[in-house]
Amino acid sequence: MPKRTLQGVVVSDKQAKTIVVRVDRRFTHPIYKKTIRRSKNYHAHDESNQFKPGDMVWIEESKPISKLKRWVVIRGEHKKSA
């Protein structure tokens, strides 16, 4: 079975080798038929501490690394600084 990958935005990099990624999803409400946005935070392993808040990253599920970390960063794009 292939590993899941998610795309999200880095919201925190305060921990060593760990980033917190916010993943947004949109779906239609089953009764009201309105589009709803929901977000969830995932702790992901960032070995080189290269991603900063605001960067777009792709994370992939992995075996548990610590109590909260079950995801690893596979690639990312640094935000453009003006």
The dotted CATH code for 3-75 is 2.40.50.140
Burial of 73 (0-12, 13-18, 19+ CB in 10 A): buried
Instruction: Tell me the C-alpha distance between 81 and 71, whole Å.
Output: 27
Q: What was the pLDDT predicted at 80?
A: 76
Q: Is the pLDDT of residue 12 over 90?
A: yes
Q: What was the pLDDT predicted at 79?
A: 82
Strand partners, 71: 44, 61
Q: Is the pLDDT of residue 82 over 80?
A: no
Segment 17-66, tens digit of pLDDT: 999 999 999 999 999 999 999 999 999 999 999 999 999 999 999 999 99
Residues above pLDDT 70, as percent of the chain: 98
Instruction: Tell me the C-alpha distance between 17 and 30, whole Å.
Output: 39
Q: What was the pLDDT predicted at 58?
A: 98
